[in-house]
Amino acid sequence: MRVVVGPKAPGCTAIGVFMFFGAIMASLAATTLLWRGAALDRIGALNPIAYKQLAPPGGTVGILLLLLGGVLTAGIGWFRRRLWEWNLTVAIITTRVLGDVVNCIRGD
């Protein structure tokens, strides 16, 4: 079977970069929640309300954020134009949009 692949659109590159940026940010947030008292604790001052909400269940949320960071590093497949990465990206964006709709309905 022959597959014809054209040039990459700028939007495709932007989504791949966004996924790697998300992986870095999720891993950074996980680090601040899992290892408290480290030099990275000052990052919590950027969004103190969110940090206060996430601090009590910090271990559980930190592990989930670390898992999310690992999933987002699958952006390598995005740049290689793998179908599984397309499906994963659509699932991630859909989940994010649905979460935003729920937050909007709740008034958050």
Q: In order along the chain (108 residues), what is the average pLDDT of each group of 10 residues?
A: 61 86 89 77 75 79 88 83 85 92 91
Q: Which of 13, 17, 14, 22 is nearest to 92 (CA)?
A: 22
Gap between the Cα atoms of 100 and 107, Å rounded: 10
Of 24, 41, 22, nearest to 32 by C-alpha is: 41
Confidence (pLDDT) at 1: 47
| pLDDT at site 2 | 54
Query: What is the structure's pLDDT at 105?
Result: 95
pLDDT at 6 (0 to 100): 60
Is pTM beyond 0.75? Reply is no
What are the residue boundaries of the structural domains of the chain, listed by start?
10-106
Give me the pLDDT at residue 104, please: 94
Are 61 and 44 within 8 A, CB to CB?
no
- Count helices and strands (H / E) in the chain: 5, 0
In contact, 50 and 40? CB cutoff 8 Å: no
Token couple for 83: 């179908």
